[in-house]
Amino acid sequence: MPDFKPQTPRPYRPAESLLDSIGAESLDPSYAAAARRRAVGGPVRWWTRVLGVVGFVMAGLILGISAQQAEARRLPAAEERQALSREIVRKAARVDSAGAELRALRAEVAERRAAALLRNGGDNTLSRLADAQVAAATVPVRGPGIVIRIDDAAGTDDAVSLDPREQEAADAGRVLDRDLQAVVNGLWASGAEAVSVGEHRLSSLSAIRAAGLAILVDYNYVLPPYEIRAIGDPAALGRALESGPVGHQLRSLRDDAGIQFSVEFSDRLHIPAAEPAQLRWAVSSALTEVSPATDPSRQGGIP
Partner 1 sequence: MIVVIGLVLGLTLGWMLSPGVPPELQPYLPIAVVAALDAVFGALRALLDGIFDDKVFVVSFVFNVVVAAVIVFLGDQLGVGPQLSTGVVVVLGIRIFSNAAAIRRHLLGA
**Residues at the site binding partner 1, with contacts judged by CB under 8 A:** 19, 22-23, 26-28, 30-32, 34-35, 38, 48-49, 51-69, 72
Are the C-beta atoms of 229 and 147 separated by less than 8 Å?
Answer: yes
- 68 versus 120: smaller Cβ distance to partner 1: 68
- 60 versus 122: smaller Cβ distance to partner 1: 60
Please state the closest distance from residue 68 (CB atom) to partner 1, in A: 5
- 64 versus 296: smaller Cβ distance to partner 1: 64
Please state the closest distance from residue 72 (CB atom) to partner 1, in A: 7
- 77 versus 154: smaller Cβ distance to partner 1: 77
Local structure of 269: helix, strand or coil? strand
> CA of 261: how far to CAs of 134, 152, 181, in Å?
27, 9, 15
CA angle (20 as vertex; 19, 22 as ends), nearest 5: 65
Please state the closest distance from residue 281 (CB atom) to partner 1, in A: 54
What contacts 174, CB < 8 A, 6 or more positions away? 152, 153, 156, 213
- DSSP letter, residue 294: G
The region, left, alpha or beta by phi > 0 then psi within -120 to 50, assigned to residue 38 is alpha
Distance CA(28)–CA(33), nearest Å, equals: 9
- 31 versus 281: smaller Cβ distance to partner 1: 31
Neighbours of 267 (CB within 10 A): 9
Please state the closest distance from residue 42 (CB atom) to partner 1, in A: 11
Please state the closest distance from residue 45 (CB atom) to partner 1, in A: 9
Helix, strand, coil shares of the chain, percent, nearest 5, are 50, 15, 35
- 53 versus 154: smaller Cβ distance to partner 1: 53
Please state the closest distance from residue 24 (CB atom) to partner 1, in A: 8
Among residues 57, 200, 231, 52, the alpha carbon closest in space to that of 135 is found at 231
List the beta bridge partners of residue 229: 147, 196
Please state the closest distance from residue 98 (CB atom) to partner 1, in A: 47
- 49 versus 280: smaller Cβ distance to partner 1: 49
Among residues 221, 228, 135, the alpha carbon closest in space to that of 181 is found at 228
- Find the helix or strand (DSSP H, E) in which 24 lies: helix 18-24
